[in-house]
Homo-oligomer: A and B are copies of this chain.
Amino acid sequence: MYIDTFVFKYILTAGIYMDKKNVRIKDIALKAKVSTGTVDRVLHNRGRVSEKVRDNVLKIIAEMNYEPNLMARALGSNKVYRLAALIPDHGFDPYWYAPKTGIEKAGRDLKQYGVNVQQYLFNPYSAESFIEQAKLVSESNPDGILLAPIFYREVLPFFKQWKDREIPFVLFNTQIIDFDPLSYIGQDSYQSGMLAGKLIHFGQSHPGSVLIAHIDEEISNAAHLLKKEQGFRNYFLQNNLDLYTIIKTELNRSNFASFTKELDRIIESTPDLASIFVTTSKAFDIAKYLEQRVIKHIKIIGYDLLPQNLYYLNKDRISFLINQNPKGQGYWGINQLVDFLVFKKAVPELKYLPLDIVTKENLSYYLDEDGA
């Protein structure tokens, strides 16, 4: 009778049990007195196996605590997985540069597993552009899709189509629960609003006015922003900080004159304004304005590590940036697809990434992180 030598190889040394190598299909076959082919059939519900044998094999698999060797699996199957990433072009909004790099990093890391990521970029301000690229994605018939579904109405037909064709898709940045996606990767907007509230409250011990500024050229992300606002307001409510006055504005960067004018109006009419919470990644616009007006006492909290934001962060014009980890969103999004497709693991349908508080002093650690 054949017995693998390794079974004996890694036994006790000085009473300390050394984990032996993992159980293989072969070991199970041996113990169950069947061939590896049969074990394989049981494991993958492939072909037919008699009740009796199946039950026995399953029992032994459980007993021996079998876990497949993922490397051997990936090596053997040698399949190429083609993934599509459908994201906005960062030429239109620099925010989208980070997810792109995360996706690219994931692509590099996973290349050895036969993963191939193709990007499809669309104009975040044009629904037609989105539809056009989404069609291309569909036509390319990928094995999985990662996308930032910022056009709710327009994306739904694609979801339906992908679901019918059984192509798994992972969302990031914007959460949509229709047609149950494989997974959503992103930030908890409400909670990040709370966090911003905490930071502002901490930096402003004496009550005063606080401005919430929504700066975006479109309202396509409105759901996000409103959740942030809600979280922010609730922080002050829950902590009974009713001496703080919260005011709010919606600004449009495309018209610089009106942008400035509106801010002028607010500053003038709110002498006790001490902090501004910018719900989008455009805090630098406020910082620039304050710099021009030589106003130094107003603190800014914003989002995302865009170069323009970092410029003002390093000048201490922006106090904190909340990092929504956009690079990580791209990175983990691809990883979720691969976990599902290649490694056949169960993937959580919701993955919130950390809300990092970034300031001048700890910035460097968040810049070139490995996407992890």
Contact = CB atoms under 8 A, between A and B. Distances in A.
A140 B369 contact: no
**Chain A residues touching B, majority SS:** mixed
B355 A362 contact: yes
Contacts of A70: 112
A45 interface: no
A354 B359 contact: no
Contacts of A346: none
Interface string A183-212: 000000001101101110011110000000
A50 B71 CA distance: 34
Q: Across chains A and B, which 4 residue pairs bring their CB atoms closest together, nearest first? A: A354-B365, A372-B372, A71-B71, A357-B357
| Copy total for this chain | 2
Contact of A18 (B13, B18, B116, B369): B116
A80 interface: yes
Contacts of A360: 198
Contact of A74 (B10, B71, B356, B357): B71
Given A198-B360, A354-B362, 9 more contacts: A21-B80, A67-B112, A69-B112, A195-B362, A198-B361, A202-B319, A205-B205, A354-B366, A357-B359
23 contacts: A10-B116, A16-B118, A18-B82, A18-B118, A19-B111, A22-B111, A69-B75, A71-B72, A72-B75, A191-B361, A195-B359, A195-B362, A197-B361, A198-B359, A198-B360, A203-B203, A204-B205, A235-B361, A352-B365, A354-B366, A356-B356, A356-B357, A357-B359
Contacts of A116: 10, 18-19
